[in-house]
Structure 1
Amino acid sequence: MRSIVTGFLLAYASCVHAHDSKSGWRYDAFCCNGNEHTGDCQMIPSQSVKVIKDGYQLTLTPGDHRLVTRQHVFNFPQTTTRRSEDSEYHLCLFPDENTPRCFYAPDMSF
């Protein structure tokens, strides 16, 4: 019985994990839905990101993120920005392209 419960818990735990970025680190489970091919999190071009007072401004066009079909401008305060583990910018959009869920950035320096 113990092995059945252990197996169930391992299977459940593997289902709730977020998918990995292309460089291998894992997005937070809250941020990510799907996998590396269909998920809503992915790296975005650094040219799409501008450092502004107290945070970031993202200007995305089609091709910058797999879900983006038209231009979007999003502002993220530094206080809600998550730390990128690969020195790249990443964005999670959920449930659609109009709703930014999480933004990851490398350490900010001025």
Structure 2
Amino acid sequence: MSPRPKKIRHCQCKFCGRAFKPTGTPLAELEQVHLYQDELEALRLCDSEGLTQEEAGQRMGVSRGTIQRIITLARKKTATALTEGQALIFVNEDEPA
């Protein structure tokens, strides 16, 4: 039995294809952490715009629980990349990582 299909997530961020990395080190030499578009959107809505998880879920067309799971993973990835000097790569969900 195949897994349940993903619900479409409405994202306004158009930052994909870019990277955030430490200066002075070529991207090819860094370990890369992929931050997907929905994860970046959840961070933007909750942390930058100050929306509650419920409000962010309504904007993205998903449940509050889904937003909570997405934002927890996004915060972990971001913290790991920043503290360990890794590159944070912004990608679309449908692009190969």
Higher relative contact order (CA 8 A, sep 6+): 2
Which is richer in strand?
1
Q: Scaled by the length of structure 2, what TM-score is found?
A: 0.25
TM-score, structure 1 normalization = 0.23
More helix by share: 2
